[in-house]
Amino acid sequence: MKDEAFQELLDSVREGGAILRGEKKSAREFEVPEVEVAQLRERLALSQQKFATLIGISVRTLQEWEQGRRRPRGPAKVLLHVANSNPKAVIEAVHPFGIRMTPPS
């Protein structure tokens, strides 16, 4: 690796560390809107078991979200946003894994 490229990489890693420690603001931030999980599940007419299977979580985690004791974060939050915006895409994406559901119209 050339010295210039190595220095650029090292600077980038240091900047990332400073952002994680809260010493510096990131250049870009993305905010994914919250989704009312229970309302989404009911709109899709799925039981807790089927909905949990659909998005790959335990029923217990789903119950925690629905009762407000925990909140979805990271990839789960994004997946819920996608499911809320385009449930058919999520259902079709997991269909090959054996989850049989009829996409809402």
pTM for the structure as a whole = 0.65
Q: Which residues contact 88 (CB under 8 A, 6 or more apart)?
A: 103, 104
Cα–Cα separations (whole angstroms), residue 27 to 15, 19, 32? 11, 10, 17
Question: What is the predicted pLDDT for the residue at 46?
Answer: 93
User: Which whole number is the average pLDDT over 23-36?
Assistant: 86
- Pick the range with the lowest mean pLDDT from 28-32, 70-74, 94-98: 94-98
pLDDT band at 104 (very low <50, low <70, confident <90, very high): low
Phi, psi of 60 (to 5 degrees): -60, -45
Q: CATH topology for 37-97? A: 434 Repressor (Amino-terminal Domain) (1.10.260)
pLDDT at 101 over 60: no
Domain ranges of the chain: 1-30, 37-97
User: Which whole number is the average pLDDT over 20-31?
Assistant: 84
